[in-house]
Structure formats: C-alpha cells, structure tokens
Amino acid sequence: MLMEIIVACVLSFAVTAVLGRWVILPALRRLKAGQEIREVGPKWHASKAGTPTMGGLMFIIGIAVSILFAGMRGMAAGNLTHIYLFLFSSVFGVIGFLDDYEKVKRHQNLGLTAIQKFLLQLAAAILFLMLMRLEGHITPHLYVPFLKLDLHLSWPVYMVFCAFVIVGAVNAVNITDGLDGLAASVTVPVALFYVTAAAWWGVTQMGVFAGAVLGGLLAFLLFNAHPAKVFMGDTGSLFLGGAVAGMAFAIDMPLILVPVGIVYIIETLSDILQVACFKLTHGKRIFKMAPIHHHFEMCGWSEVKIVTVFTAVSAVFCALALMGVMAL
C-alpha cells in the first residue's frame, strides 16, 4: 500500500512539473490567459495583472495520470474510490474553469454569477453524497473529533447538512487562494494528513489520491511560489476544495474538516465578519482588509511570511487532527 502511495506522489510531481514547464505554462501565455486583478484588492497587486491563470490544469492532469497508474491494482479489484474522488473534484474544477474562462474572455475579475456557482456546486455535492451512500462509504453519523461524540442523524438531515459542508469547504479553499503559493502551501499538510490517515486505516485508494494531490501541489509550487509565474485560478482552487472535502467523506469523517481546514475557515470567517460589521455599523471594519491574508499584508507582512505562517498553522492543526484519528 505504502509503495502505491509513494508512486502516486512521485508520478504526480513529475507529470505536473513537466507539463507545467513545457506544455501548460507556454500554452497559457500564448492564449494570453492573464489574471485580472480585483480593483478592491491591495494596490501593489496590480503588478500581478497578466500573470497566466488556470494553472490548476497542471496538477489536475498530473493527478489524473498518477491515480490511473498507481491505482491500477485497486481498480482491478473493483475499488474505485480514487476515481470517484477525482471525478468529484473535477466537477468543481470544471465549474472553476468556466469561471476563469469568462474572466479571461471579458478581461474582468468577474466570471459566473454567485448563484450560478452555488447551484452547480450544490448539485455536484448532492450527486457525490448519493454515490458515496450507494457505495456504502458513508453513514448518517457525525463523529466529533477530540470529543469522541458520535451524532446519529436521519439520512435526509445528514445529506442536506453535508451538502452545505461540501459547498462551504470548496469555497473556503477558493477564498484562501489570494496570495502567491498560499492555497497550495496550506493544502500540502492537509494532503499529507489524508495520506497518513489512509495509510493508518488501510484505505489504499484514497491514499493513492491523497498522495497524487500532495505530489501535484509540490510540483505546482515550483511555478506558483512567490513571485508566481502562474496562478491556479478557480480551476485549481475549486478542484482542491472538492478534493479536501471529498477525502473527508471517503474516511466518513466530514467534521475532520474543522481542524484540517482551520486556515480555510479562518479566511472565510474573516470575510464574513468584515462584511457583517461593515453593514451593521455603516462603514466600520474589523480588519484593514479581508480576507485576513490581506489584513496582514496591510500590516506590512510580506507574502512569503504570510504563506509561511499560515502553512505552519495548517500543519499544526493537521498534526493535532492526526493524533485524534490515531487515538480512535
């Protein structure tokens, strides 16, 4: 099992690195698929305008090649968990691609409408949950990490609750993708958590998928670390959100997303609190700018420092979550 995960990680890294260097990045530059920078963001981000976006295609393709090769033995035995996870994540990636394409086409930082994205994401979440239930991978129980509580819900309540958990998690990862290398770096320890949890419980095919995600992200950082040569775009961030959420359901522990996704949650809450405070107080703000990574930028932190600190926080909470999982 461990060898299959290692092969998935190494192969995903290699394919992503080669594709990124020789195929995807040159193609995006030729197509002039440049990122439009939000007018309300930090002024110094204007220098990033024109940086190729949709770079998430690099690791999506790398992951696809990797899991097909490394997961062959599992597929032969009829275990398609890694395929389900990839297809589920890819649905969100396609939604992100459509959003990115609209932005590039119109040369504005506006793509699909919020309601369009929400409905598409909700439909994808419901279909995934139905499939996982049919395959017997999920139960209508919510295990609360660290408290050792097991909440028994009816299937309808469980399905509705978890569908919104998935949509929330996917968009939280998307919000985190606001600085060079931030979303990818924060997700590396998350992927490593899932690799270790899969190895601990013997969930081989999920381990293959998690290993492929880990390798793909490490290779993507060769291009996305500050100063970024390419952005993952919504194509990549929504795919990653689907992967992070999907793997939580593959181990039937959706609430594990709270500790492993703590950075995504903080980023999202900072945005929600900022908007709520602004509206309720008619103009007052909690943060200098939201999401919170922009607040630290406004405080004088460099992008590298923010990415390093946020990744460290993600790693610490993933380690805590892993200790909780191993104690079961």
What does the pLDDT profile of the chain (328 residues) look like in tens digits?
789 999 999 999 999 999 999 988 888 888 776 666 555 566 656 667 778 889 999 999 999 999 999 999 888 888 899 999 999 999 999 999 988 888 777 666 556 788 888 999 999 999 999 999 998 889 998 988 777 788 899 999 999 999 999 999 999 999 999 999 999 999 999 999 999 999 998 888 999 999 999 999 999 999 999 999 999 999 999 999 999 999 999 999 999 999 999 999 999 999 999 999 989 888 889 999 999 999 999 999 999 999 999 999 999 999 999 998 887 7
Identify the CA nearest to 197 among candidates 241, 88, 240, 189: 189
Bridge partners (DSSP) of residue 141 are 152
Q: How far is CA 325 from CA 14, 65, 222, 251, 314, in A?
A: 31, 30, 31, 10, 16
The residue segments making up the domain with residue 90 are: 2-326
On whether the CB atoms of residues 315 and 200 are closer than 8 A, the answer is no
Two tokens, residue 164: 């919104």
d(CA 132, CA 119): 20
* Amino acid in position 203: V
Two tokens, residue 245: 């959420």
Q: How many structural domains is the chain composed of?
A: 1
d(CA 179, CA 186): 11
On whether the CB atoms of residues 311 and 218 are closer than 8 A, the answer is no
Length of the chain: 328
Q: What does DSSP assign to residue 132?
A: H
pLDDT at 2: 85
Cβ atoms < 10 Å from Cβ of 131: 14
pLDDT at 36: 60
State the pTM of this model.
Answer: 0.94
